[in-house]
Amino acid sequence: MELKTGLRGTAFLKVEENDLSVAFNSGEVPVLATPRVVALIEEATLDAISGSLEKNKTTVGMRVRIDHLTPISLGGSITAHAILEQVDGRRLTFSATVETEKGKLLVANATITRVIVDTEEFLSSVKP
């Protein structure tokens, strides 16, 4: 499979206790945590490019720009959608949205940049 713009991915989440801002220490109210929304969007970006990279390659997160617009409570269900918008050398830029079930409400929108790396080289450069 070729890495090209237009690739799409999705990720789903039913909000549980460990997804709440109080569990992430990112807020004091029991609603879906912004860091968990970011993780869901990153999951959708990975789904978009699944099977498109060489065997020894992976991507790592570089930049996240997000607007978290709507609070979601425990038990809510959301879906993240990511689209590969730009391939610039090793940099991949995605647009993403997060919606409630059946797209009734926009929860977040974002731009995510990931960078293609050689897995072994990357791991060897990681510092403790």
CATH number for the domain spanning 19: value is: 3.10.129.10
Residue 2 lies in a domain: no
CB of 3 closer than 8 Å to CB of 52: yes
Residue 88 lies in a domain: yes
Residue 69 lies in a domain: yes
CB atoms within 10 A of CB 6: 8
End-to-end CA distance of the chain: 35
28's tokens: 């004091």
Tens-place pLDDT, residues 78-112: 999 999 999 999 999 999 999 998 778 999 999 99
Tens-place pLDDT, residues 39-53: 999 999 999 999 999
Residue 29 lies in a domain: yes
* Average pLDDT for the chain: 95
pLDDT at residue 16 in the model: 98
Signed CA dihedral, 78, 99, 51, 118: sign only: negative
Residue 1 lies in a domain: no
Question: Can you give the residue range of the structural domain that contains 77?
Answer: 8-125
Q: Is the pLDDT of residue 2 over 80?
A: no
The number of folded domains in the chain is 1
